[in-house]
Structures are given as C-alpha cells and as structure tokens.
C-alpha cells in the first residue's frame, strides 16, 4: 500500500506506535524504513505504511476475511477493498463527457518530415565563428534551396549529413525541446527562417512535409477512457476509505490529517 495514500500533517517523536492498542514495535519501523529510503522522511513514511497495514488487518479480521494474528496478504487486501470500496463502472455518458472535455488527448500525433544541417559547438569560445558559418550557409540556401542535400553532406556535423540531412519522420518527444519547439510550433513548410539554436549547436532546418494529427473517434478510445476513469474513482474511493478507518481509530505515535472533506460519505 502506498505511503502517500493518507495525508500526514505531523508525526509524533514518540517511538511507540500503536493502532487501537496494537503496538507496532521500533524494530518493525526500522525494517519498514528500508523500503522508503527515497522518501523525504523514511521514518514517517514507514510509520504511515505500518499504520495503514494494521488498519486493514484489523478491518479484515472484523469482516471475517482474516483470522486474528494472521498476516495480511495481497489477496485478502484486494478482497477487503472489493467489498468495502465498490467502484461503479463508468457510464457511457461519463466517458463521452470526459472525451469531449479532453479532446486534445485523443488525437493522432502531428508528424514532421525534415532535414537539417548541424553546425556543432565544441568550444564555446568559437560560438561567433560557428554562427557566422551557419548564417552564411543559410543565406546560400535562401538563394539556392536545391543545394540543401549537397551542403548537408559537406557541412553538417550530424551523421544525417551523409543522407542529405534527412531526419525522417518526427513526432513530439523525439528531439530536444529547443528543436521540437522550432519545428512543431511553426506551421512553415520549407526552409525555416533563421537558425535553430540547441544545446548541440546551430541548425539549418528544412521542413519537407507536415501531417496534422487527427482526432481519434470516440469508439477507438472508449475502452481506454473507461479504464482510466475506473482507476481514478477507485483510487479516490480507497483514499477516502483509509482516511475514514484512520479517523475512527485510536492512533498513537502518529498524527494524520483526517479532514472531513476526505472522509467516505
């Protein structure tokens, strides 16, 4: 169970930790802390995880799903949450509403077919000279765009220069942010105006073709939306359920945020 399921506002400095009179000893806290070393406060995260586990264990015993003093396992936990946190399957109306409100999430990616000539920066002190060479080549291509592949072959510091600077088909997320912004934020086709400056150097970019992404039909994403909404509601339901268990428990050695707005109605 994630240690982030219940918000904590404070954790007591007391070593003794107990849930409804059941003591969780210091050795158990130390052992659990080893699983939370990436947390800002491993001790607090360990205490919270152990409290959640004990709350679920006690509830499972009360529900007759677990005998007293037995170890809580994933199967029993899943069964308990299934009984106590029933999550309704999202209706078609709910899925349609989400689809309409998030239409940009459900479209095929934009595609750009491009070539480039890279003037790499290997020494920052040479930036002025490198830029000057790139600008000179760009001016030549403005006058003679048909020379792009030849210049890429002779001038580019990128291996793509051997194939005329061809980068093939590009989608968002495949190149560094500076380059991506230059080619996707513009609608220009042909030689881009000016140089594109990235961490690698200066680029002359030729956009050969753009294919705008298309909206995916609702039928194609209905199942994906349904799974997402179901998981979202289930997560919220479990969070509220655990908060309610904590609010009704006698907890020592830890203070939890049990705001009324988070309680299961």
- Phi, psi dihedrals of residue 139, rounded to the nearest 5°: -60, -40
Say whether 111-211 and 8-92+219-262 share the same fold: no
16-49 residue pLDDT tens:
899 999 999 999 999 999 999 999 999 998 999 9
Distance in Å from the first CA to the final CA of the chain: 22
Task: Determine the length of the chain.
Answer: 265
CATH 3.30.465.10 fits 111-211, yes or no: no
Phi-psi region of 21 (alpha: psi -120 to 50; beta: other; left: phi over 0): left
206-218 residue pLDDT tens:
999 999 999 999 9
Residue 262 and residue 83: Cα distance in Å, rounded?
Answer: 20
Strand ranges of the sheet holding 17-19, from the earlier edge strand across to the other edge: 22-24, 17-19, 251-252
Of 13-27, 129-143, 177-191, 227-241, least confident by mean pLDDT is 13-27
- Provide the CATH topology of domain 8-92+219-262: Triger factor/SurA peptide-binding fold (1.10.4030)
The set of residues, in sequence order, having a beta carbon less than 8 Å from that of 85 and lying 6+ positions away, is 234, 237, 238, 241
pLDDT of 259 higher than 50: no
More confident residue, 14 or 256: 256
> Domain boundaries in the chain?
8-92+219-262, 111-211
**pLDDT band per the 50, 70, 90 thresholds, residue 5:** very low
Residue 154 and residue 140: Cα distance in Å, rounded?
Answer: 14
Closest listed residue to residue 202, CA positions, set 138, 112, 109:
138
Q: How far is CA 90 from the centre of its chain?
A: 23
The reported pTM is 0.58
């Amino acid at each position: 169970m994630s240690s982030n399921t219940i918000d904590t506002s404070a954790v007591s400095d007391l070593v003794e930790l107990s849930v409804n009179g059941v003591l969780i000893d210091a050795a158990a806290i130390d052992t659990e802390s080893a699983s939370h070393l990436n947390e800002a406060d491993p001790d607090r995260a360990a205490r919270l995880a152990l409290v959640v586990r004990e709350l679920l264990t006690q509830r499972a015993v009360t529900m007759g799903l677990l005998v007293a003093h037995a170890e809580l396992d994933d199967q029993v936990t899943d069964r308990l949450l299934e009984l106590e946190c029933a999550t309704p399957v999202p209706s078609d109306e709910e899925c349609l509403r989400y689809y309409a409100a998030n239409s940009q999430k459900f479209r095929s990616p934009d595609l750009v077919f491009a070539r480039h000539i890279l003037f790499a920066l290997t020494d920052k002190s040479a930036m002025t000279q490198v830029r000057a060479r790139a600008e000179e080549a760009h001016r030549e291509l403005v006058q003679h765009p048909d020379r792009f592949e030849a210049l890429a072959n002779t001038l580019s510091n990128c291996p793509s220069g051997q194939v005329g600077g061809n980068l093939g088909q590009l989608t968002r997320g495949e190149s560094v942010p500076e380059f991506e912004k230059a080619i996707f934020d513009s609608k220009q086709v042909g030689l881009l105006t000016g140089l594109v400056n990235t961490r690698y150097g200066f680029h002359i970019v030729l956009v050969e073709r753009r294919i705008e992404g298309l909206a995916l039909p609702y039928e194609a994403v209905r199942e994906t939306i349904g799974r997402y909404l179901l998981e979202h509601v289930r997560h919220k339901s479990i969070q509220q359920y655990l908060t309610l268990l904590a609010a009704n428990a006698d907890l020592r050695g830890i203070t939890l945020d049990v705001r009324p707005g988070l309680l299961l109605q």
